[in-house]
Structure 1
Amino acid sequence: MKMIIALSALVAIAVAAPQGQFAKDNDANAVVVKYDSDNIGIDGYNFAFETSNGISGQEAAQLNNPGTDNENLAVRGSYSYTGDDGQVYTVNYLADENGFQPIGKHLPVQP
């Protein structure tokens, strides 16, 4: 369960990181301007953040089927960032017993 949480956070951070010289210069001076977190214990958690360079994200998790063989943590969230082309990219995702499932207008869709 903790591995799913850690993995989803690392994936979100890695994918949200914009590339290019402008982004690198802007990111070097970025600061967190908003952070909210509520760790509600073993039943789940939620958090949200915004940075001065336009990156934002939010995530909420809920424990499903507690105490059973099918116990799992369902994580829903999203993150946004501005790409090198000036466009804002947003990814919504679900991570649960079926894996990490991202959705975004810029992402390919399975046939």
Structure 2
Amino acid sequence: MKSFVVFASLLALVLSAPPKPNNDKFLRFLPAIRHEEKHDEYGQYALRYITAENTVVSERGRLVPTENGGYVLEIEGQYSFIGDDGRIYVTKYRGGADGFHVDAEHLPKQVLPIPAANDFLSLPAA
């Protein structure tokens, strides 16, 4: 009985181990092959990096004056990658005092609700 428990434990350990990165499926574990980054004394920055599988990320942050005399750090950037289907996916984003906004063709779009049928029936008679 003890040997069965030991064997089952070893089998569970082997099956739970992560697979070896020996095929294209695990290419995304490769590090960045190019990395540029600049900062100034006010916290503004710009960065860009490219990975071995051709994922490209670029972003910048800059201080923008606000109405009350302060400053807010606005960011804008984009990233692109090649999906498993071979297509290039690009996502652009920006964030600041007016919130965070994302623009990408591959993301779902907001759908406006359709008014209920009884909303049309309750209109006043002409």
Same fold (TM over 0.5): yes
**Other structure's SS at 1:79 match:** strand
The residue number in structure 2 matching 1:27 is 28
Partner amino acid for 1:58? S
Looking at structure 2, the residues matched to 54 and 92 of structure 1 have their Cα atoms a distance apart, in angstroms, of 17
Return the TM-score normalized by structure 1.
Answer: 0.69
Q: TM-score, normalised by structure 2?
A: 0.61
Identical aligned residues as a percent: 23
Distance in 1 separating the partners of 2:70 and 2:41: 19
Q: Which has the higher contact order (CA 8 A, sep 6+)?
A: 1
- Structure 2 segments unaligned to the other structure (5+ residues): 1-22, 112-126
* Residues paired across the two proteins, number: 89
Do residues 92 (structure 1) and 101 (structure 2) align? no
2:50: which partner in 1?
50
Gaps of 5+ in 1: 1-20
Pick the structure with greater CA Rg: 2
After TM superposition, give the deviation of residue 69 of structure 1 in Å. Answer: 5.2
Task: String of CA shifts for 1:49-79, please: whole Å, max 9, x gaps.
Answer: 000012110001111117x455211101000
Amino acid aligned to 1:65: P
1:2-81 superposed matches below 5 A: 22-23=24-25, 25-28=26-29, 30-42=30-42, 44-65=44-65, 68=68, 70-81=70-81
Distance in 1 (CA, whole Å) between partners of 2:98 and 2:108 is 18
Moved over 6 A (4+): none
The structure with the greater share of residues assigned to strand is 1
